[in-house]
Amino acid sequence: MRPAVFIDRDGTLCDEVGYLNHLSRMRIFPFAVEAVRLVNRSGWLAVLVTNQAGVARGYFPESMVAEAHALLGARLASGGAHLDAVYYCPHHPSAGEPPYRQDCTCRKPKPGLIERAAAEHGIDLARSFVIGDRYHDVQLAWAVGARGVLVRTGYGAGELVHLSARWPRQPDLVADHVLEAVERIVSESRA
């Protein structure tokens, strides 16, 4: 069993632009490639986990999600990095039409995406981390017995300023961005 670093997409590896409904809006952070490469070289699995409710809302087809992940994958590959797996939730509990409109078990912070990843890739969740820019990414980590890292990119800085006083439990780690998060994970743990 290997540990994984589960990484959120929007606001963590690329700019949070609301709904990424066209590839022209995808701005991958310059440090994202090095972050994923460091995960790869350190023996963790690198797994993308992202909510894409824009599919359920009818803002874009599910194929748009695949296009975005192909572009992300190509950019990572050009820097010698790769994602070992990609999992996304296209659902929303109340918007749009079935089958995308459903109270699913995979919309973060529900644990479905990570449970599927763990089953399919033999992941040791107790030694794994989730990195994201929303508190719900941190809650997702705790829901599966992993550790949660909040980054200040995307919604992170604002959540820390405006919401963190109300959080019942603080993130295990707070980092300026995903590269700093991975550097600290790697230096403080062993895959």
- Residues found near Zn ion in the complex (CB under 5 A): 89, 91, 104, 106-107
Q: Catalytic site residue 84?
A: no
Distance separating alpha carbons of residues 22 and 9, to the nearest angstrom: 15
Under the binding rule (CB under 5 A), the answer on residue 8 touching Mg ion is yes
Which has the closest alpha carbon to 112: 51, 173, 176? 51
**Which is nearer to Zn ion, 116 or 184 (by Cβ)?**
116
Q: What's the min distance (Å) between Cβ of 141 and Mg ion? A: 13
The answer to whether the CB of 84 falls within 8 A of the CB of 121 is yes
Q: What residue 110 binds from Mg ion, Zn ion, none (CB within 5 to 8 A, per partner kind)?
A: none
* Nearest Cα to Cα of residue 42 among 15, 8, 2: 2
Q: Is residue 84 a contact residue for Mg ion (CB under 5 A)?
A: no
Interacting partner of 136 out of Zn ion, Mg ion, none (Cβ under 5 to 8 A depending on kind): none
Residue, CB closest to Mg ion: 11
Q: CA–CA separation, 40 vs 58, rounded Å? A: 35
Catalytic: 8? yes
Would you say 100 or 135 has its CB closer to Mg ion?
A: 135
* Tokens 């990572």, residue located: 76
Q: Pick left, alpha or beta for residue 143 (phi over 0 → left; psi -120 to 50 → alpha; otherwise beta).
A: alpha
Catalytic residue positions, numbered: 8, 10
* Site residues (vs Mg ion, CB under 5 A): 8, 10-11, 133
